[in-house]
Amino acid sequence: MAILAIGSDHAGYEFKEKLRHWLESQGHQVNDFGTHSLDSVDYPDFAHPVASAVEEGNAVFGLLLCGSANGVAITANKHQGIRAALCWTPEIASLARQHNNANIVCIPARFVTYAEAENILSTFLNTDFEGGRHERRVEKISC
């Protein structure tokens, strides 16, 4: 299975913990970059290490959670080679992988149920990039 990097702020903490255990039960190696409590924290402190792990090849994919997932997605996308996608349905997660070759899934913990989050993550991890015409587009993303 894959090596994954995960992180969240306080709003995503509970989902992160459950998803970490679920991923490990599926045979994935999970590098948890925090947070490790419900105490209020700043999401960039956790999004940057996850993005760096993916960017440097120390993880195949990343998972980031915060209340809306906007903050972690914006932060992660500052890293070259990162394509962090905000996904609130399995269909969006599938398209993010198929068409955008996304390598970090960002889930809005305040707007989905845990079951939906697990389904989004599963879809993301089990969907391949289609390449073809999408490859050309993905190559145009980096500055």
Is 99 an active-site residue? yes
Burial bucket for residue 25 (CB in 10 Å: 0-12, 13-18, 19+): exposed
Q: Which of 10, 21, 28, 66 is catalytic?
A: 66
Q: Which of 28, 48, 79, 99 is catalytic?
A: 99
The structure tokens listed for 103 are: 């390598």
106 flagged as catalytic: no
Residues carrying an active site annotation: 66, 99
